[in-house]
Amino acid sequence: MPEAVSPLPRSCNLDSYMKEASGEAEIGIVIRDLLVSVKLTAWKMMFDTSNAEEMEALACKEGIGLAAEWLPSNI
């Protein structure tokens, strides 16, 4: 049986890390409710990235997309 969706607002924390020499990077996403309960976590490894600003923007895009996909009723 699916868990009832909480009516509480959520926050989305995003971060990225990049090794400039190799172009490898990782992004991390944590979505929490108002009571600080973790509702979703995700991370993704990226290759051939150009700069840290690109990675931060990609982390925001991925976080918003995951939130919309997995928590559609309270975004």
Query: Which sequence spans correspond to the domains of the chain?
Result: 10-74
Query: How high is the pLDDT of residue 1?
Result: 46
Q: Read off the tokens for 71.
A: 């928590």
Report which of 59, 52, 53 is spatially closest to residue 27, judged by C-alpha positions: 59
Residue 54 to residue 2: CA distance in whole angstroms: 36
Query: How high is the pLDDT of residue 27?
Result: 86
Q: pTM score, two decimals?
A: 0.66
Would the pLDDT of 66 be above 70?
yes
- Residue range 10-74 forms a domain whose CATH class is alpha beta
Q: State pLDDT tens for residues 38-61.
A: 888 888 888 888 888 888 888 888
Report the pLDDT averaged over residues 18-37.
Answer: 85
Query: How high is the pLDDT of residue 67?
Result: 76
| CB count in 10 Å sphere of residue 39 | 19
* Averaged pLDDT of the chain: 78
